[in-house]
Amino acid sequence: MTEELTDLLAGSRNLVGRSSTVERVADVLRGHIIDGALAPGARLSEEAIGAALGVSRNTLREAFRLLSHEGLLVHEFNRGVFVAKPTAEDVVDLYRVRRALELSALRGAAEASDEAVALVGASVEMGQRAFDSGDWWGLGTANMRFHQAIAGLAGSPRTDEIVRRLLAELRLVFHVMSAPREFHAPYLEQNKEIHRMLCEGRLDEAADRLGGYLDVAERQLVDAFAELDDPRSQAPA
Amino acid sequence: MTEELTDLLAGSRNLVGRSSTVERVADVLRGHIIDGALAPGARLSEEAIGAALGVSRNTLREAFRLLSHEGLLVHEFNRGVFVAKPTAEDVVDLYRVRRALELSALRGAAEASDEAVALVGASVEMGQRAFDSGDWWGLGTANMRFHQAIAGLAGSPRTDEIVRRLLAELRLVFHVMSAPREFHAPYLEQNKEIHRMLCEGRLDEAADRLGGYLDVAERQLVDAFAELDDPRSQAPA
DNA sequence: CCAATTGGATTGTTCAACAATCCTTCGATC
DNA sequence: GATCGAAGGATTGTTGAACAATCCAATTGG
Test A157 with B99 for CB contact under 8 angstroms: no
Chain A residue closest to B154 (CA)? Answer: A96
Across the interface, which of A19, A66, A158 has its CB nearest the CB of B77?
A19
B127 and B182, same domain (yes or no): yes
With beta carbons less than 8 A apart as the criterion, state whether B161 and A97 touch. Answer: no
* Closest of B141, B120, B143, B139 to residue B130, by C-alpha: B139
User: Which stretch of A149-158, B5-14, B16-25, B91-100 has the lowest confidence by average pLDDT?
Assistant: B5-14
Long-range contacts of B57-60 (CB under 8 A, 24+ apart): B58/A58, B59/B21, B59/B22, B59/B25, B60/B25
B74 and B104, same domain (yes or no): no
Q: DSSP assignment, residue A134? A: T
Q: Which nucleotides of D are covered by protein (CB under 7 A)?
A: 11-18, 21-24
**Whole-number average pLDDT of chain B:** 88
Q: DSSP assignment, residue B231? A: G
Contacts of B166 in chain A (CB under 8 A): 158
Residue A237, pLDDT score? 32
Whether the per-residue pLDDT at A101 is higher than 90: the answer is yes
A56 and A102, same domain (yes or no): no
Domain boundary among B83, B115, B130: B83
How many C-beta neighbours within 10 Å does residue B37 have? 11
SS3 at position B75: strand
With beta carbons less than 8 A apart as the criterion, state whether B65 and B75 touch. Answer: yes
Residue B89, pLDDT score? 95
For A65-84, the pLDDT digits (tens) are 999 999 999 999 999 999 99
The CA distance from A77 to A69, in Å, is 15
Contacts of A20 in chain B (CB under 8 A): 77
Q: Number of A to B CB contacts under 8 A, please give it.
A: 67
Residue A60, pLDDT score? 97
* Closest of A160, A181, A226 to residue A9, by C-alpha: A160
Chain A residue closest to B97 (CA)? Answer: A159
B21 and B64, same domain (yes or no): yes
How many C-beta neighbours within 10 Å does residue A60 have? 25
- A212 CA → D7 C1’, Å: 60
User: Which stretch of A137-151, B1-15, B95-109, B117-131 has the lowest confidence by average pLDDT?
Assistant: B1-15
Contacts of B17 in chain A (CB under 8 A): 77
With beta carbons less than 8 A apart as the criterion, state whether A100 and B153 touch. Answer: no
Test B105 with A100 for CB contact under 8 angstroms: yes
A71 and A178, same domain (yes or no): no
B119 and B219, same domain (yes or no): yes
Instruction: Kindly report the CATH number assigned to the domain that includes residue B74.
Output: 1.10.10.10
Residue A230, pLDDT score? 60
Contacts of B69 in chain A (CB under 8 A): 66, 69
B145 and B195, same domain (yes or no): yes
**Residues in chain A, how many?**
237
The CA distance from A161 to B52, in Å, is 34
A100 and A215, same domain (yes or no): yes
Q: What are phi and psi of B235, to 5 degrees?
A: -70, 140
B10 in a domain, yes or no?
no
For A108-140, the pLDDT digits (tens) are 999 999 999 999 999 999 999 999 999 988 898
Across the interface, which of B20, B94, B162 has its CB nearest the CB of A77?
B20
Residue B184, pLDDT score? 81
**pLDDT band, very low/low/confident/very high, at A54 (cuts 50, 70, 90):** very high
Q: Which nucleotides of C are covered by protein (CB under 7 A)?
A: 10-17, 20-23
Using CB atoms and an 8 Å cut-off, which of residues 10-49 of chain B contact chain A? Answer: 13, 17, 19-20
B141 and B105, same domain (yes or no): yes
Q: At what angle do helices A186-199 and A114-132 cross, to 10 degrees?
A: 160
Q: What is the mean pLDDT of residues A210-236?
A: 79
A235 in a domain, yes or no?
no
Residue B137, pLDDT score? 85
How many C-beta neighbours within 10 Å does residue B23 have? 15
* Closest of B107, B99, B103, B81 to residue B166, by C-alpha: B99
B24 and B97, same domain (yes or no): no
With beta carbons less than 8 A apart as the criterion, state whether B53 and B60 touch. Answer: yes
C-alpha dist (Å) from residue A189 to A98, A148, A195, B193 = 20, 17, 10, 45
Contacts of A74 (CB under 8 A, 6+ apart): A68, A81, A82, A84, A85
- B143 CA → D2 C1’, Å: 59
B74 touches A: beta carbon within 8 Å = no
Domain boundary among B53, B83, B113: B83
Q: What are phi and psi of A218, to 5 degrees?
A: -60, -50
Whether the per-residue pLDDT at B87 is higher than 60: the answer is yes
A237 in a domain, yes or no?
no
Q: Domain residues for A64?
A: 2-83
B5 in a domain, yes or no?
no
B128 and B37, same domain (yes or no): no
With beta carbons less than 8 A apart as the criterion, state whether B66 and B22 touch. Answer: yes
The CA distance from A230 to A223, in Å, is 10
User: Which stretch of A221-230, B65-74, B116-125, B130-139 has the lowest confidence by average pLDDT?
Assistant: A221-230
Contacts of B99 in chain A (CB under 8 A): 104
Contacts of B192 (CB under 8 A, 6+ apart): B124
Contacts of B96 in chain A (CB under 8 A): 154, 156, 158-159
Cβ-based burial of B142 (10 A; exposed 0-12, middle 13-18, buried ≥19): buried
The CA distance from B129 to B213, in Å, is 22
Whether the per-residue pLDDT at A5 is higher than 80: the answer is no
User: Which stretch of A48-57, A167-176, A224-233 has the lowest confidence by average pLDDT?
Assistant: A224-233
* Total domain count, chain A: 2
Residue A211, pLDDT score? 97
Using CB atoms and an 8 Å cut-off, which of residues 100-119 of chain B contact chain A? Answer: 100-101, 103-105
B3 in a domain, yes or no?
no
* Closest of B175, B176, B168, B170 to residue B229, by C-alpha: B176
**pLDDT band, very low/low/confident/very high, at A3 (cuts 50, 70, 90):** very low
A96 in a domain, yes or no?
yes
Test B66 with A69 for CB contact under 8 angstroms: yes
A183 in a domain, yes or no?
yes
Residue A9, pLDDT score? 31
Residue A1, pLDDT score? 38
Instruction: Kindly report the CATH number assigned to the domain that includes residue B218.
Output: 1.20.120.530
- SS3 labels along A168-206: HHHHHHHCCCCCHHHHHCHHHHHHHHHHHHHHCCCHHHH
B70 and B131, same domain (yes or no): no
Please tell me the distance in Å from B92's CA to the nearest CA on chain A: 9
B42 in a domain, yes or no?
yes
Bridge partners of residue A73, in order along the sequence: A83
C-alpha dist (Å) from residue B182 to B22, B214, B224 = 38, 16, 13
Domain boundary among B27, B58, B83: B83
For B134-183, the pLDDT digits (tens) are 998 889 899 999 999 999 999 999 999 999 999 999 999 988 777 767 77
**Whole-number average pLDDT of chain A:** 88
- End-to-end, the C-alpha distance of chain B in Å comes to 73
Q: Contacts of strand C, CB cut-off 7 Å?
A: A 19-22, 54-59, 78-79; B 19, 43-47, 57-58, 61, 75, 77-81
Whether the per-residue pLDDT at B11 is higher than 90: the answer is no
